[in-house]
Structure 1
Amino acid sequence: THYIPGFPINGYGDCLVMETADSKGQWANNDCSAKLPFVCSWKPYTDSPPQTCLGASIKEGDIVRTPGYPVDASTFCDFFLKVQSGKLVEIEVLVLEANTCCDHFIIEEGSFGGNKI
């Protein structure tokens, strides 16, 4: 099964909810009358190989993740994207899970402390 350890619990309800606070997407049973936000689908959990931040060779079309994502989000990380003069960088954010206390997503133009975009 894919239940959170200890679930299902008798008396908690007959509906199924997915825990999204962690990326494993494990299940729990819940009261069917409870109003909750929902998702129609969730990407399956995979153990992706660790990725480094600095010195990583990023090519066009690459998906960039912070090291340990989606399991460990406690690593400071900078990525530097370079293009030829006169060219532009296009960034598409697929998932941004951030806590206001401690997570930051900053895009700067130029090298090392350029203008914040």
Structure 2
Amino acid sequence: MPLMLYPNLVDAVTYATTLCERWEFYNDRSFYDPLYLMDLAKANDQEFILDEDGSYVVSEEGAIGQSDDGEEIQWLFIPVTLQGTLPNTIHEPEVKRFCTHCGADVLSPGKFCGQCGGAL
């Protein structure tokens, strides 16, 4: 799932409004439309500046989160139409790959298995 990163909440909301039309706050049933969410983002950006490693995160569904350390995500605004779950970190865990010919672990994104030479 590709995540988009933004330095401020206004930019994150601007992008998220192209993906979603209504959100709820992560821990209660408060609902937000695009105009209200943008007003909130403008006020937030005037009062709060993220640290150097921080960013706002937008999922492909339009969920908006914040990462203070560049890794873990705290989701703030969740689309009311969201189906499924959101990632907890910016970087998805690496998926292990195996050779289809011999079953050996494939450590690099190469085209051939280092063990048997089979095409991957």
Identify the structure with bigger relative contact order (alpha carbons < 8 Å, sequence gap 6+): 2
Relative to the length of structure 2, the TM-score reads 0.24
More helix by share: 2
Relative to the length of structure 1, the TM-score reads 0.25
